[in-house]
């Protein structure tokens, strides 16, 4: 997740604290709207790619 926060900081110029808040908000929204992929998103952010992309794509209908 640190990589994602750094990317938001680099692209927007906001502070790391603000970026973390934004990332947490977006992830919370996604997990609420598509609850079946919450664990996969957490795994992806931890670097556990495995079948995560395939699982997420399947749950989203891609």
| Mean pLDDT, residues 17-43 taken together | 90
Where is pLDDT greater, at 55 or 45? 45
Q: 61: pLDDT confidence band, cut at 50, 70 and 90?
A: low
Neighbouring C-beta atoms of residue 33, cutoff 10 Å: 8
Give Cα separations from 7 to 13, 19, 26, 32, 55 (angstroms). 10, 9, 14, 23, 24
pLDDT reading at 55 higher than 90: no
Residue range 40-52: average pLDDT?
75
pTM score over 0.85: no
pLDDT value at 50 more than 80:
no
Domains of the chain: which residue ranges? 2-60
């Amino acid at each position: 997740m640190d990589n994602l926060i750094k990317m938001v900081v680099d692209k927007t110029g906001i502070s790391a604290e603000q970026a973390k808040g934004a990332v947490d908000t977006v992830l919370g929204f996604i997990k609420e709207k598509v609850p079946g992929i919450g664990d996969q998103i957490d795994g992806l952010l931890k670097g556990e790619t495995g079948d995560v992309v395939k699982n997420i794509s399947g749950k989203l209908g891609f």
